[in-house]
């Protein structure tokens, strides 16, 4: 593994299974910090397997098969729907992006995302796979114990700074945004 890229202004939320509450946790953090900080969200779909075939088997939803190049980065502008990206925008992020990328192009897509956001933005990212390439300020893993652990989660689980199952508002209070000596805002944990 190459040296990880430090992105201290980002909290990364991963999970051991689908539908584990990543977006619910992200929305709670957005509501808590949106008044004092510039927040930008990124939801990542990492595509594995054969190009043009659904990674979950069957016909699929078309997300994976719609990519012509290595990645596709789309800014969400719609606040009226129920998609996770729309929910994050409604919650109060200044910008929200969806990155769909083949694993070998994930870092390229992430760098394209960074180029489109304010330098002082605090990032909330939903992804397991990106942790293999970057070191966020906090990596929060949501442990959905009802399901088998996804391979993407298993490969980065031991890198988590915090592991929680259905975190309460009180548990999330240990997450904060702090200014460094150079006035960069970074995500940090603190004792509750």
Environment class of 13 (CB within 10 Å of its CB; exposed 0-12, middle 13-18, buried 19+): buried
Return the pLDDT at 62.
54
Strands 134-142 and 175-179, bridge-based pairing: unpaired
What domains, with CATH codes, occur in the chain?
5-189 (3.40.50)
Strand boundaries in the chain, DSSP class E: 5-15, 39-47, 71-75, 95-102, 122-126, 134-142, 162-164, 175-179, 185-189
Pairing of strands 95-102, 39-47: parallel
Q: Residue 110: what pLDDT?
A: 98
Query: What is the structure's pLDDT at 144?
Result: 80
In order along its 192 residues, the chain shows pLDDT tens digits of 578 999 999 999 999 988 888 999 999 999 999 999 999 999 999 997 655 554 445 555 555 556 768 999 999 998 898 899 999 999 999 999 999 999 999 999 999 999 999 999 999 999 999 999 999 999 999 998 777 888 999 999 999 999 998 888 889 999 999 988 887 899 998 765
Using alpha carbons, select from 42, 59, 15, 49 the residue that is nearest to residue 167.
15
Which residues 6+ apart lie within 8 Å of 20 measured at CB?
A: 142, 143, 144
């Amino acid at each position: 593994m190459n040296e990880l890229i430090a992105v201290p202004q980002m909290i990364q939320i991963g999970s051991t299974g689908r539908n584990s509450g990543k977006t619910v946790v992200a929305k709670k953090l957005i509501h808590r910090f949106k008044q004092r900080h510039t927040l930008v969200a990124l939801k990542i779909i990492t595509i594995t397997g054969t190009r043009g075939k659904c990674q979950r088997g069957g016909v699929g939803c078309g997300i994976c098969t719609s990519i012509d190049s290595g990645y596709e980065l789309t800014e969400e502008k719609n606040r009226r729907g129920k998609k996770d990206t729309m929910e994050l925008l409604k919650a109060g992020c200044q910008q929200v992006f969806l990155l769909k990328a083949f694993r070998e192009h994930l870092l390229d897509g992430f760098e394209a995302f960074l180029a489109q956001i304010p330098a002082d933005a605090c990032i909330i990212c939903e992804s397991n796979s990106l942790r293999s390439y970057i070191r966020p300020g906090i990596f929060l893993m949501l442990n959905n114990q009802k399901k088998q652990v996804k391979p993407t989660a298993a490969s980065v689980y031991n890198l988590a700074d915090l592991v929680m199952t259905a975190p309460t508002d009180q548990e999330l209070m240990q997450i904060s945004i702090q200014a460094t000596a150079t006035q960069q805002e970074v995500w940090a944990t603190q004792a509750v």
